[in-house]
């Protein structure tokens, strides 16, 4: 986190190289949810990856927690123009979860408890770019922010980080998810200001 921009966000906006175009810094953590926060029990929680052959890879909460978790130190950028720099998360890399998955499809639909969906290219969820995050700033992820676990895809606008994640489905085409059907950009690169289309 840059000391220069703290309490000086008016100028930080132009000068902070960590801030994508059109974004401003926030120190708090706004909640943006299209619906109510679902009540999710860990003993029935599950995460699945479904491929084109109908194979369903499935993890319970205990199975997820038995996998190696990593610390993630990253900036996050919401399409509504707030950015939060230097956030700290802990989560399981999607590389770990995709290890045994065989697919020829290049796109993924993220599915959440509550019905939210968002799409992403498969390559954007691999090679250390995406996690199932269960911890934020050293504490279990707050339900309002997607707890018990959300997807974290910080190089794209934050709507691509599905809260209350429950599954990924491989797709042949880049079909639009919830916000993408409602005018948000199909990809959402904050550095190219791919907000709406």
Ligand X SMILES: Nc1nc2c(c(=O)[nH]1)N[C@H]1C(S)=C(S)[C@@H](COP(=O)(O)O)O[C@H]1N2
Binding site for Mo ion (CB under 5 A): 32, 78-79, 159
Binding residue (CB under 6 A) for ligand X from 147, 152, 158, 169:
158
Tell me which of 5, 23, 69, 112 binds ligand X, using CB under 6 A.
112
Matching residue, tokens 């230097």: 86
Q: Judged by CB under 6 A, does residue 134 bind ligand X?
A: no
User: What is the Cα–Cα distance from 177 to 186, expressed in whole angstroms?
Assistant: 8
Which residues 1-30 are close enough to bind ligand X by CB under 6 A? Answer: 29-30
Distance CA 182, CA 159 (A): 12
Q: Which 176-195 positions form the footprint of ligand X (CB under 6 A)?
A: none
Q: Tell me the two tokens of residue 187.
A: 């990809």
Considering CB under 6 A, how many residues would be counted as binding ligand X? Answer: 18
CB 96 within 8 A of CB 64: no
Q: Using CB under 6 A, pick the residue from 6, 22, 32, 66 that binds ligand X.
A: 32
153 sits near ligand X (criterion: CB under 6 A): no
Is residue 42 within 8 A of residue 113, CB to CB? The reply is: no
**Residue 61 touches which of Mo ion, ligand X, none (CB < 5 to 8 A by kind)?**
none
Q: Considering only CA atoms, which of 120, 93, 92 is closest in space to residue 106?
A: 120
- For residues 28 and 104, which CB has a smaller minimum distance to ligand X in the complex? 28
**CB-nearer residue toward ligand X: 49 or 162:** 162
For 79, counting Cβ atoms within 10 Å of its Cβ (0-12 exposed, 13-18 middle, 19+ buried), the class is: buried
Q: Which residue has the tokens 């959402």?
A: 188
Is 161 among the residues that bind ligand X (CB under 6 A)?
yes
The radius of gyration of the chain's CA atoms, rounded to the nearest angstrom, is 17
Residue among 61 and 176 whose Cβ is closer to Mo ion: 176
Contacts with ligand X, residue ranges (CB under 6 A): 29-34, 78, 112, 114, 116, 145-146, 158-159, 161-164
């Amino acid at each position: 986190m840059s000391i220069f921009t703290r309490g000086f966000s008016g100028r930080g906006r132009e000068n902070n190289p960590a801030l994508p175009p059109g974004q401003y810094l926030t120190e708090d953590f706004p909640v943006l949810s299209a619906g109510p926060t679902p009540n999710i029990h860990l003993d029935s929680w599950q995460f699945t990856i479904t491929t084109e052959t109908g194979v369903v890879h499935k993890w319970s909460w205990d199975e997820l927690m038995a996998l190696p978790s990593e610390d993630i130190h990253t900036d996050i950028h919401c399409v509504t123009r707030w950015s939060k720099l230097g956030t700290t998360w802990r989560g399981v890399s999607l590389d770990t979860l995709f290890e045994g998955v065989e697919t020829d499809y290049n796109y993924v639909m993220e599915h959440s408890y509550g019905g939210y969906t968002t799409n992403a290219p498969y390559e954007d969820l691999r090679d250390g770019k995406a996690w199932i995050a269960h911890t934020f700033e050293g504490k279990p992820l707050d339900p309002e922010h997607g707890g018990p676990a959300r997807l974290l895809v910080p190089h794209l606008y934050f709507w691509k980080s599905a809260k209350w994640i429950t599954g990924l489905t491989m797709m042949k085409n880049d079909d639009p998810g919830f916000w993408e059907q409602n005018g948000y950009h199909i990809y959402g690169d904050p550095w190219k200001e791919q907000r709406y289309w």
